[in-house]
Structure 1
Amino acid sequence: MSTCDKSKLISISKTMLILGLVLYLSFIIFFGDSNCPSSELLSSFRLKRTPFSSQPNVAKSKSSTNINHLLFGLLGSQKAWHHRKSYIESWWRPNITKGYLLLDVPPQGDDLIPWSLNSPPYKISDDVPKLVNETKHVDATVLRLVHGIMEVFREGHEGVRWVVMGDDDSIFFVDNMVDILAQYDHTKYYYFGGHSEFILSNYWFSFNQAFGGAGIILSYPLAKALARDMMSCLKRYAYLNAADRTTMTCIADIGVNLSPLQGIHQIDLRGDLSGFLSSHPKSLLMSLHHFDMVDPIFPSMDRAQSIFHLQNAAQYDQSRMLQQTICHHRSKSWTFSVSWGYSAHIYEKIMPRSWIQRPIETFKPWQKSPNPPRYMFDVRSTSADPCEAPHVFFFKSVERTPRNEILTTYTRAWPRGIGTCLYAGNHSAEYVSEIHVYSPAIKRIQIDRCECCDIVHKDGSNKAEVKYRECKEDEIIA
Structure 2
Amino acid sequence: MESFHKPIKNQKALMKFFVFSSSFFAISLCVSMLLLAKTKLVVDMSSSLQSLLRVSESDPTTTVDHLVFGIASTGTAWNRRKVYTKLWWNRKPYNTMRGCVFVDTLPHAENANNNNDGSLPPLCVSEDTSQFPYTYKNGQRSAIRVARVVKETVALLNHSGVRWYVFGDDDTIFFPQNLVKTLSKYDHRLWYYVGSSSEIYDGAQVFGFGMAFGGGGFAISSSLAHVLAKVLDSCIQRYPHLYGSDSRVYSCITELGVGLTHEPGFHQVDLRGNAFGLLAAHPLTPLLSLHHLDNIDPIFPNMTIIKALQHLYEAAKVDSQRLLQQTVCYDKRLSWTISVSWGYAAQVFHNHLSLPDVVRVQKTFKHWTRGTALADQFTFDTKELHTDPCRRPTIFYLENLSRGEDGIIISNYRKSIQNCSSNVAPEVIRVASSKLELGIKQLLAQRRHCCDVLPSSVSDQMEIAIRECKEDELISMQ
- Give 1:398's match in structure 2, choosing from 401, 413, 417: 401
Please name the residue that 1:374 is paired with.
377
Corresponding residue number in structure 2 for 1:14: none
1:69 — aligned with what?
A: 66
Q: 2:338 aligns with which of 321, 336, 339?
A: 336
- Given the superposition, is the C-alpha separation of residues 249 and 371 from structure 1 closer, same or farther in structure 2, using an over 3 Å criterion? closer
d(CA) in 2 for partners of 1:51, 1:388: 60
The alpha-carbon deviation at position 45 of structure 1 amounts to 11
Between 288-297 and 396-405, the greater mean CA deviation after superposition: 396-405
Instruction: Report the equivalent of 2:278.
Output: 276
1:103 to 2:103 alignment:
yes
- The residue that corresponds to 2:19 in the other structure is none
Corresponding residue for residue 13 of structure 2: none
1:57 positional shift: 4.2
Q: Report the 3-state secondary structure (helix = DSSP H, G, I; strand = E; otherwise coil) of the residue aligned with 1:299.
A: coil
Q: Deviations over 1:101-146 (max 9, x none)?
A: 111211227455545731111111112xxx222x334452111011
- Distance in 2, matches of 1:184 and 1:52, equals 17
Count residues with an aligned counterpart. 423
Question: Structure 2-normalised TM-score?
Answer: 0.83
- 3-state SS in 1 of match to 2:181: helix
CA distance in 2, matches of 1:89, 1:186: 27
Amino acid at match of 1:225: V
Per-residue CA deviation, residues 193-247 of structure 1 (Å, 9 max, x unaligned), is: 1000000001111111110011121001111011111221122223323211111
Q: Hey, what does 1:59 align to over in structure 2?
A: 55
Distance across 1 between alignment mates of 2:396 and 2:431: 12
2:161 to 159, 162, 170: 159
**Offset at residue 457 of structure 1 (A):** 4.0
Partner Cα separation in structure 2 for residue 459 and residue 375 of structure 1: 43
Match for residue 463 of structure 1?
461
Corresponding residue number in structure 2 for 1:433: 427
Q: 1:313 to 1:136 in 2, by over 3 A?
A: same
Q: Is the 8 A contact 2:456 2:463 kept in 1?
A: no
SS at match of 1:317: helix
Give the aligned partner of residue 3 of structure 2. none
> Which structure 2 residues correspond to residues 344-383 of structure 1 after superposition, within 5 A?
344-368=346-370, 369-370=372-373, 374-383=377-386
The structure 1 residue matched to 2:472, chosen from 463, 471, 474, is: 474
Distance 2:369 2:53 in 1: 38
Counterpart amino acid of residue 294 in structure 1: I
Matched residues in 2 for 1:300 and 1:462: separation? 23
Q: Deviations over 1:386-411 (max 9, x none)?
A: 77411101111121112211111111
Distance in 1 between residues matched to 2:85 and 2:155, nearest whole Å: 22
Please list the CA deviations of residues 346-383 of structure 1 after superposition, one character each: whole Å capped at 9, or x if unmatched: 11112211110011100011112445761001111112
TM-score normalised over the length of structure 1: 0.83
Q: Return the alpha-carbon distance in structure 1 between the equivalents of residues 260 and 344 of structure 2.
A: 30
Alignment check: 8 A CA contact 1:271 1:363 kept: yes
Equivalent residues of 2:113, 2:123 under 8 A apart:
no
Distance in 1 between residues matched to 2:112 and 2:86, nearest whole Å: 13
C-alpha contact 1:453 1:469 (8 A) present in aligned 2:
yes
1-structure distance, mates of 2:389, 2:156: 58
Aligned to 1:91: 88
Shift of 1:317: 1.1
- Corresponding residue for residue 262 of structure 1: 264
1:8 alignment partner in structure 2: none
CA separation in 1, counterparts of 2:292 and 2:340?
24
Q: Does the CA contact (< 8 Å) of 1:395 and 1:410 recur in 2?
A: yes
Aligned to 2:77: 80
Unaligned runs of 5+ in 2: 1-39
> How many percent identity over aligned positions?
35
Gaps of 5+ in 1: 1-43, 421-427
**2:130 maps to which residue?**
132
Q: Give the distance between the partners of 2:230 and 2:391, measured in 1 at CA.
A: 55
Q: Does the CA contact (< 8 Å) of 2:360 and 2:383 recur in 1?
A: yes
Q: Distance in 1 between matches of 2:398 and 2:50?
A: 39
> Does the 8 Å contact 1:196/1:211 carry over to 2?
yes
2:410 aligned with 1:407 = yes
Structure with higher Rg: it is: 2
State the Cα distance separating 1:56 from its structure 2 match. Answer: 7.6
User: CA separation of 1:301/1:222 partners in 2, compared to 1, >3 Å: closer, same or farther?
Assistant: same
1:88 aligned partner, one-letter code: T
Amino acid at match of 2:60: S
Pair 1:419–1:182, CA change in 2 (3 A): closer
- Range with bigger deviation, 194-203 or 376-385: 376-385
CA distance, structure 1, for counterparts of residue 172 and residue 347 of structure 2: 27
SS in 2 for 1:79: coil
CA distance in 1, matches of 2:144, 2:313: 33
1:134-283 equivalences under 5 Å are 135-138=132-135, 140-156=141-157, 157-283=159-285
Question: Does the 8 A contact of 1:72 with 1:164 survive in 2?
Answer: yes
